[in-house]
Amino acid sequence: MDPTIILKKKVTGLNQRGLAGFVAKACRAAGLRSTVTVLVTGNSEIRSLNSRFRGKNQTTDVLSFPSLGCAEAFAGDIAVSLDTAARNARTLGHSIDDEVKVLVLHGILHLAGYDHESDKGEMADKEQRLRTRLGLPTALIERSSANPERRRRPNRRAPVRSHR
31 part of a folded domain: yes
pLDDT tens digits for 45-88?
A: 999 999 999 999 999 999 999 998 766 789 999 999 999 999 99
**pTM here?**
0.83
160 part of a folded domain: no
CB 45 within 8 A of CB 8: yes
User: What mean pLDDT comes out for the span 113-128?
Assistant: 85
53 part of a folded domain: yes
Q: How far apart are CA 29 and CA 6, in angstroms?
A: 22
Residue type, 138: T
pLDDT at 155: 34
152 part of a folded domain: no
> Residue 83 is part of which domain span?
4-147
How many domains, the chain?
Answer: 1
Q: Largest Cα–Cα distance of the chain, in whole Å?
A: 41
Residue 45, domain CATH: 3.40.390.30
153 part of a folded domain: no
- The DSSP code sequence of 32-43 is --SEEEEEEE-H
156 part of a folded domain: no
126 part of a folded domain: yes
Q: What is the 3-state composition of the chain as percent helix, strand, coil, each rounded to the nearest 5? A: 45, 15, 35
105 part of a folded domain: yes
pLDDT tens digits for 130-139?
A: 999 999 987 5
